[in-house]
Structure 1
């Protein structure tokens, strides 16, 4: 349709087809967890300190409701919020605003459902509107429904005196083609379990801030913060802050070395590693206005290795840098500006050494000559071998008891044990899963033999009796069983009258 004509130029209405464009807004790449996080961003921007998720995974018509006690919206504000592209990303925003394009509410919701209803209340006035993609497809028009009889709507009972409730129905993307009720519920529950961890991680700074008293709950279960830096753990190592000032704000960089797994409970360690493990969790953690947008990646600045998996760097940026960092619609990816990239290269080169030293110092103790190691580390022509230490006091003590004709066979057994070390299998297990590999339990009689033979060897080496216990406590095998080992050492020294 021609709108007007001036000189030789014609102007026509080239508005996109509603049914085609709105379906395209379903494919920005949101997952359930990133979609929920985007909705909660709006709640935080609205000043809410309580967000409640009510999830129905068992009925024939599953649904999700996200309710907050923020400032709510007037009817005109609601209509604007339901408009696609309601906010220009180049406009200035308050530091508390976590949105960018004015697309999050709609695109995040459409990625999971075909029916988006919003009920909101401000100054005692309640307003309700709905996008139904089936209706848009049928009419091929931007048909936004205004709901007058909102009291009968799902989620209305969650509305506070002021605040907003977002309701997802027709969860076609979340449920998919699963038609068995039991499997549908099982799949949805698994997805919400992953989403729960993501929300605890993404908003951990809001959840742990004492003054804000911010809360998120799922089906009346309050979420606890998950700090990927373990910044409050007494064994976490923290480097001084590093600040980079740019034209539109400054970037704050803080480096952390999380504790070795032996200094944490199993639950704490597993929480930090998450489902992908610590190898994937190392790297950069980028926060935009205290909201986590990148969780664990070196972004091409370093390799993810077993020796650096304790290294994590928190980077804080303001929302004034969105264009410079190329923050996407989902707020789940970013690109480092060149000045930041150059500074980070130098920081990372210096910093990751502390994580490597944490592991290497433990490795060195296993092969330190004065400790009578069971295994020796041998380097020949650039290749590293580990072989049993045939001079270990336990081996020597037993060898001395053998007849001459059996000694050679015993030494051969020790050599074959070293040659048969399953390097490939160990490497496969160690990559990303080193903490799950533990030594087998040692019997008391075997432990006692180690104590006896090592004590005799130390006495021969002129170690005084009063220092025996201190030296043996650093021996890895005895250290891991020290309560029993200490008693065995005391008994043996007593037997010898020392």
Structure 2
């Protein structure tokens, strides 16, 4: 083996290697979640100076046909639209812009739709012609062929949204052949819209809460039936500030700490401790207690990561009240310390950040590590207080929604070393609604009544969370004793009779509706 080593690789020229058209398939396979994809498009609206953004689901009877994002921003002319529709199109991003990579519109859209049409109009006169372009996956992968939208249709689409919100200028992004739209009727569309719009509203309300808190910016989600023209759902997205607790969980917080990194300089950490046992949406909008603790990174007032400790430490239940707001410095675009994901749903940090956290202090010299300890102690103190006033219980296990298990564990002390109580659906005699299986420590629910209880919704392992929670609260003490006394047996018979009557009434309601 030779000991010679060249630290610089010698070059003998260069060669132009453009991407294959199949690159568009890779671009649309980046794992964009539906809510993150819509948020990326709303970012473009904000960058365009929009005051109003409308997210419009269009349906024809029981079939969803299109999704449009409409804004009253400054719009784009033909040349600007060509740049916007070019993969990695070069344009100047302002220092406060939310866009970075030039791929969001295309990758976010084609991750979820077979085609994306963009029609835009700049401020001139009402008669000024709009510009329109369309990408379809079929034509994109055969040679990057972007369609030019017929000018008459482009004007027709602008006119459709004139004054709602477009007046003189604006942009419309239209998705067709949306991949996760229901393909069958039978009420699937209504259930899909209810579930999707609720999740979308929470996501936008959280990640764009600083913009939504302003008086001059609004996001509206609406549903219209194109066959009748009836718009039967229309509501504004509300801001969900992850730091909007009614009262602090610790009297000495919030506090600001400064972490200094040699390659980037000082970064301010705004450390907060939530009050224990909070049930408000601002606290619960992010995943589980493990997911929602840690750093909340903002770039230009847009939340780009909600929770996570970025290799500083491992998440744990005792830190569920700890949240730290970090406004990334302007130099982040060229920094190696913080690297944003293309989808703007996370921040990768270098070891330099974790090292700086160990020596971060506030104005009084208090270390950031003390904040972590204080958040831990706040949670433990609340748990001890609960433990002295409420009896320990066997925890819930399989069949219960994660959020339900967490709520019970937050509210009640747990018996150590006990096998959790499971719940499952099973065929049993229709004269009973439930059975208690002590040996397997399981609450068995009668499968005969499942469809009626779910109201036609698709079942799953953790379905019917309200019913299962109530059954746990009724029955958990049965598993904590070796046998049931006469009073408990009488209660079991009482609950059985009432629940069977209620379940049969629910079945009759479903039959009458059909």
| Class of the TM-score when normalised by the shorter of the 2 chains | 0.5 to 0.7
Residue in 1 aligned with 2:340? 327
- Equivalent residues of 1:174, 1:188 under 8 A apart: no
| Structure 1 counterpart of 2:254 | 238
* Compared CA separation, residues 94 and 34, structure 1 to 2 (3 A): same
What TM-score, normalized by structure 2, do the two folds share?
Answer: 0.64
Whole-angstrom distance in 2 between the partners of 1:138 and 1:434: 51
The structure 2 residue matched to 1:433, chosen from 373, 383, 407, is 407
1:11–1:309 CA distance, 2 compared to 1 (3 A): closer
Match of 2:468 in 1: none
Trace 1:31-180 onto structure 2 (pairs within 5 A).
31-57=33-59, 59=61, 60-87=63-90, 93-124=93-124, 125-133=128-136, 136=139, 140-149=143-152, 150-153=154-157, 156-157=160-161, 158=164, 159-171=166-178, 173-175=179-181, 178-180=183-185
* Pairs within 5 Å for 1:18-417: 18=21, 20-57=22-59, 59=61, 60-87=63-90, 93-124=93-124, 125-133=128-136, 136=139, 140-149=143-152, 150-153=154-157, 156-157=160-161, 158=164, 159-171=166-178, 173-175=179-181, 178-180=183-185, 182-209=187-214, 213-219=216-222, 220-230=234-244, 233=247, 237-242=253-258, 244=260, 247=263, 250-261=266-277, 266=279, 268=280, 270-274=281-285, 276-323=287-334, 324=336, 325-346=338-359, 349-365=369-385
Which residue of structure 2 aligns with residue 415 of structure 1?
Answer: none
Q: 1:260 to 1:126 in 2, by over 3 A?
A: farther
Q: TM-score normalized by structure 1? A: 0.65
Deviates more, 1:196-205 or 1:298-307: 298-307
Distance 1:275 1:330, change over 3 A: closer
Aligned to 2:344, the other structure's residue is in SS state: coil
Structure 1: 5+ residue stretches without partners: 1-8, 368-372, 376-387, 389-420, 440-498
Equivalent residues of 2:81, 2:133 under 8 A apart: no
Residue 144 of structure 1 and its aligned partner are, at CA, apart by 2.7
* Partner Cα distance (1:52, 1:301) in 2: 39
CA offset at residue 162 of structure 1?
1.5
State the Cα distance separating 1:112 from its structure 2 match: 1.2
Q: Is the 8 A contact 1:114 1:169 kept in 2?
A: yes
Unaligned runs of 5+ in 2: 1-11, 223-233, 361-367, 414-514
Task: Return closer, same or farther for 1:74/1:185 CA change in 2, 3 Å cut-off.
Answer: same
Structure 1 residue 326 displacement after superposition: 2.1
In structure 2, the residue corresponding to 1:43 is in which secondary structure? helix
SS in 2 for 1:322: helix
Residues 431, 252 of structure 1: alpha-carbon distance in 2 compared, 3 angstrom cutoff:
farther
CA RMSD in angstroms comes to: 3.4
Structure 1 residues 126, 310: closer, same or farther in 2, change over 3 A? farther
Instruction: Tell me: CA distance 1:341–1:58, structure 2 relative to 1, closer, same or farther (3 Å).
Output: farther
- The CA distance in 2 between the partners of 1:260 and 1:138, in whole Å, is 52
Give, in whole Å, the separation in 1 of the partners of 2:47 and 2:386.
53
* Per-residue deviation, 1:225: 0.8
Relative distance call for 1:147 and 1:10 in structure 2 (3 A) is farther
**Secondary structure of 1:170's partner?**
strand
> Quick check: which one's helix share is greater?
1
Q: Alpha-carbon deviation of 1:13?
A: 6.9
More off after superposition, 130-139 vs 162-171: 130-139
1:357 Cα deviation (Å)?
Answer: 2.2
| Contact 1:57–1:185, Cα closer than 8 Å, also in 2 | no
Compared with structure 1, are the counterparts of its residues 155 and 181 closer, same or farther at alpha carbon in structure 2 (3 Å cutoff)? farther
Aligned residues: 369
Q: Paired residue for 1:483?
A: none
Q: Provide closer, same or farther for how the CA distance between residues 137 and 122 of structure 1 changes in structure 2, counting only shifts above 3 A.
A: closer
